[in-house]
Structures are given as structure tokens and as C-alpha cells.
Amino acid sequence: MKRQKVAVIGTGYIGVVHIEQLLRLPSAELVGVTDKNQTLAAEVAGRFGIRRVYASAEEILADPAVEVVHNCTPNNLHFSLNKQALLADKHVLSEKPLALSAAESGELTRLAQQRGLTTGINFCYRYYPVVQDAAVRVARGDIGAVYNILGHYLQDWLLYPTDYTWRLDPKMAGASNIVADLGSHWCDLAQFISGLKITEVMAELRTILPIRKRPKHGATLTFAVAADIAQEDVPVSLDEYGAMLLRFENGVNGTFTTSQLAAGRKCNIDIQVYGAKGSLAWNHERSAELWLGHRNEPNQIFFESPNLQAESTRRYAKLPSGHPMGHMDAVLNLFGDFYGAIALRQARRPVTYRYPNFEAGHDEMRVLEAAIASRKSGTWAKVG
Ligand SMILES: NC(=O)c1ccc[n+]([C@@H]2O[C@H](COP(=O)([O-])OP(=O)(O)OC[C@H]3O[C@@H](n4cnc5c(N)ncnc54)[C@H](O)[C@@H]3O)[C@@H](O)[C@H]2O)c1
């Protein structure tokens, strides 16, 4: 098997998650990393035995030996670095959101198609084995015609006014904090499991704490705890809470609620799909289980299994039945599909599975723009 030579840009929270999974993946060879914070990049490279610390993203993009780039920088750098990487003929796996606007994400999608490059976006929650199985169950009609898709994504890491992240700064995050961050994951899950696109949105997005305390010197990394450092007041206008009414294709309705100030909820993703014959539900806090709801017989809990899942999803359940997989494994599953797609396309063979590429990232940018338009107008907004 050919091993693709890969470099990672950004060695913060999610960059390290990428690095750890790349090191587990036989089809990837991690040749180097970079970060604006070169001390951090060197520390991370040392920790994982990575050969090279590049001086900048530009140095990676100019290196002909690098075939694939993972973009793990903050949102405001996704468009420009993804575009430069495509123009340098690299395959790109980007963090979400894909860009800061649908115009940008559309441009990236078209550029990748024109240049015949393989793209991916890290919508990792669809890669838990039973989530993959849920999509197959819906597609083969197990729950009948879908009526409603309901759910939430709740966290509490921004509960206190002293909690601060670049995600609250429009210059780095774009026009949305929480819908771009958590909403993009949930909407991807909803569209992936149901096979239906979101067509219209009515959104209430709110800033709960309009003033927060930001560390005076230097940024904090995601989920880092800022203690005993000088802080300054900073106004916040981006969304920290969102409630969305959704219309999907085929007249299906849904609702989605999200907050980063929900005390006690760390990463509580919940999705419920109700159909004419039955229902299914998944919650990230019990990520190995799929709940199957019935009207006239006892409900069931299906546990991920390399033997009992639909045949096409068994490869995602890598452990013997009864052993739960985790978040890192879901990311590894996604990378496996992405690198598998590169290999298949290089061998001129069809990719027969659905993996999140830039088109999926563009879908979420369009939903996000509709949510922002609805916040402004107070009415339904079509997904353009
Ligand atoms: N898919 C997921 O589940 C998931 C989870 C977390 C974060 N993310 C996404 O990943 C991205 C990064 O988030 P994070 O939580 O890791 O942030 P972070 O702040 O922890 O890390 C970002 C890193 O990028 C570096 N950086 C900034 N500018 C750079 C540049 N020009 N060149 C190289 N490095 C640069 C920073 O120094 C920092 O180390 C965000 O877009 C976020 O939405 C996705």
C-alpha cells in the first residue's frame, strides 16, 4: 500500500488529535508539522517523534514531497490555506467550518473538483459505528418515512464570564460561534443519517454573556484553563446559544438546540429520528449504543458490533462486540475513509461509500448562512 506523505498545520487541541490518528493509520506517513507558535510545534513534534518542524504553513505548501495537508488552524485561516493547498496540488483534510462564507466554501469545492483532488472535512461524529449503522437503517426503510429529526448539542466550557476562546472573536471565528462550531456537526449528522438536506431554517441565536474576561497576554488553547493570569473585559456579540427550526427535503421537520453554557453538559450530542414505522436515537454520552424505538413491541438498544451491524458498516466497529470504541477511533475511521478515497481515486476505482468531503462542508456553510440571515430577519431563511 502506498503511504501518503502528510503534514499538519496547527498543533493546538485538534491538531494533536489529527497527529495521534495519523500515526495509527497505515496509509499515511506524517512527515512534518507547523504552528504559528513554533515552540508548541517543536514540543508536539518531539512528543510524537515527528521528523520535521516546518517554519510556516507556506513552507509546507511549497514542499513537493507533501501530498496531503491537514488544516487544523482557527476558522479564519481555513479558506486561504485550503485554497493555497489545492493550488499547490495537495489533497486537503480541513477542520470545520470549511470557510467563513458559502461563497468561499463553494469556491473551494469547485477548485478541488477542477483539480481532481480529494478533500475531507472532520465531521467526526458520523464515524461512530452505530451512527453509520443508523444511516443504513434509515436508508433501507427500517423506520419508514422520516417525519421529524430532533436534537441538541450542549457543552458547558463557556459557562463563566472568565471563560474565553478565539471562537468568540468574529475576526477569527467568522459570523458565528456556536452554530458554526457545534451546529455544523449536528446538521451534518442529521443530514447524513436521514439522507435529507436541510432546505430552510428559522433561527434564534443569542449572546448570553455580552462581556467576558479575556487573557491579556496571548491566547489560550481550546479547553485550556486560564488561571491566575491578567484579564481584560471584552464585548461579545457572537452566538453562545442557538435554537433552530428546520425544514428538510420531503416535508420533514426538525428542531435543534445548542448552548455552551449548559452546566454539566460536556459534549452532549443528541439526535432522534422519528419515522412512520419506528424511530432511532443516539447520544454521544453513550456513543456505542443506538436506541431503537417501537410502538407495539419493546424498545431495543443496539450495541456497536463488527458482527451484527449492516455489512457495509462493520469495518467501522474495529473491536470485538462489547468493547466500546471512542472519539479518537471515530476520527481514525474518518481518516481511513479519506485516505481510502485518495487510494481508490488514484487507482481510478469508484468510491462507493459516503465520506465528508468539501461538498459536505459547503452544505453546512449554506445552512449556517441561512441561520445567520434568519437571526437578522426574524423569519424563515432558505438554504441558498
Ligand atoms: N472536528 C472537531 O470535532 C473539532 C474539534 C475541535 C476543533 N475543531 C476545529 O479545529 C480548528 C482549530 O481548533 P482548536 O480547538 O484546535 O484551536 P486551538 O486554538 O487549540 O489550536 C489552533 C492552533 O492553530 C495555530 N495557528 C494559528 N494560526 C496559524 C498559522 N498561520 N499557521 C500555523 N498555525 C497557526 C495556533 O497557534 C494554535 O496552536 C477550528 O477551526 C475548530 O473549529 C474541530
> 105 and 52 share a domain?
yes
User: Which of these, 120, 130, 126, 114, lies nearest to 94 by C-alpha position?
Assistant: 120
pLDDT at residue 219, rounded to an integer: 57
Query: Where a domain ends, among 124, 139, 158?
Result: 124
By CB neighbour count within 10 A (0-12 exposed, 13-18 middle, 19+ buried), where does 377 fall? Answer: exposed
> 26 and 134 share a domain?
no
> 151 and 95 share a domain?
no
Contact indicator for 60, 66 with CB cutoff of 8 Å? yes
Q: Determine whether the shortest distance from the Cβ of 77 to ligand 1 is under 6 A.
A: yes
The answer, yes or no, to whether residue 152 has pLDDT greater than 70, is yes
pLDDT at residue 1, rounded to an integer: 77
CA of 244 relative to ligand 1 center, distance in Å: 26
Res. 226 pLDDT band, cuts 50 70 90? low
pLDDT at residue 293, rounded to an integer: 98
Q: At what angle do helices 78-87 and 102-115 cross, to 10 degrees?
A: 10
Q: Determine whether the shortest distance from the Cβ of 75 to ligand 1 is under 6 A.
A: yes
> 71 and 185 share a domain?
no
Residues 44-66, mean pLDDT to the nearest whole number: 98
Residues whose CB falls within 8 Å of the CB of residue 234, separated by 6 or more in sequence, listed in order: 164, 168, 211, 212, 213, 214
Q: Determine whether the shortest distance from the Cβ of 38 to ligand 1 is under 6 A.
A: no
Count of beta carbons in the 10 Å neighbourhood of residue 149: 27
> 197 and 247 share a domain?
yes
CA of 355 relative to ligand 1 center, distance in Å: 22
pLDDT at residue 220, rounded to an integer: 60
pLDDT at residue 222, rounded to an integer: 66
Residues 27-36, mean pLDDT to the nearest whole number: 98
Mapping DSSP to helix (H, G, I), strand (E, B) and coil, where does residue 367 land?
Answer: helix
350 located within any domain: no
CATH, residue 160: 3.30.360.10
| Strand pairing class (52-53; 28-34) | parallel
Question: 320 preceded by cis ω (within 30°)?
Answer: no
Q: Determine whether the shortest distance from the Cβ of 221 to ligand 1 is under 6 A.
A: yes
Query: Where a domain ends, among 67, 91, 124?
Result: 124
Ligand 1 probe mutation, 16, 17, 21, 35, most atoms within 8 A of CB: 35
**pLDDT 10s digits, 109-138:** 999 999 999 999 999 999 999 999 999 999
Q: Determine whether the shortest distance from the Cβ of 169 to ligand 1 is under 6 A.
A: no
pLDDT at residue 361, rounded to an integer: 98
Q: Determine whether the shortest distance from the Cβ of 223 to ligand 1 is under 6 A.
A: no
**pLDDT 10s digits, 190-203:** 999 999 999 999 99
Domain that holds residue 216: 126-333+363-382
Query: Where a domain ends, among 124, 144, 164?
Result: 124
